[in-house]
Amino acid sequence: MRSAAGHAVEGAAPAQIVQRLLDVLEQAVASLSRMKDGQAVSAPSETAPPRRFDFVHNSELRPVVEQAYADSRRALEQGDYDLALRTSCGILEAIVTDALEHRGLSALAASGAPAGKIADWSFETRLTVAERAGLIRGVCARLPLVARRYRDHGEHAAEVIVSERDARRAGQVLHVVMRDLNPGR
């Protein structure tokens, strides 16, 4: 449950919980009544876009990862597990790279970062350095092998079999990393 200010609260009085539920139900009834009366319902494209990636420092990257996130969710819903996994991993790599670049190479050197540009590091190296630097927790250990090697599929993509479980696990890891990189959320 959230407070009026939007912060999570650990407990709430039963009456307050019931009142919130009733408010939600009233909103649902009003919305359904408008639909029944033929009033226009706003299309999803007309609503404000979600702001899941406000923590990304590179402002040009934000809309790209927002769109990729929507594409990944859609691919998962449509059963295109390969696309869902590759897109989730691409988002994961992009947001971890953004966080590493924001931290800076000199600060990362203390965490055992290799020499050279971050863009030249492997996906695995980026995840390892981000964990050592305390940017993310060790959740990336849950990534299936096919996800860790998502960049290597290339011309052999037809030979790689991505299961629904692999795609879902990559998405779950992405969500945890998003929370790690956005602690004020």
The pLDDT score that the predictor gives to residue 153 is 64
Under 8 Å between Cβ of 174 and 88 = yes
Transcribe 41-88 into DSSP letters: ---GGGSPPP-TTTT-S-TTTHHHHHHHHHHHHHHHHTT-HHHHHHHH
pLDDT, tens digit (0-9, with 9 covering 90-100), for 44-94 = 445 555 678 999 999 999 999 999 999 999 999 999 999 999 999 999 999
Q: Which two tokens stand for residue 20?
A: 């919130």
Cα–Cα dist 174/170, whole Å: 6
The pLDDT score that the predictor gives to residue 81 is 95
Task: Provide the whole-model pTM.
Answer: 0.71
In degrees and rounded to multiples of 5, residue 2 shows phi and psi of -115, 150
Q: What is the mean pLDDT of residues 120-147?
A: 93
Domain locations along the chain: 1-41, 62-181
Cα–Cα dist 41/155, whole Å: 44
Q: What is the mean pLDDT of residues 160-167?
A: 92
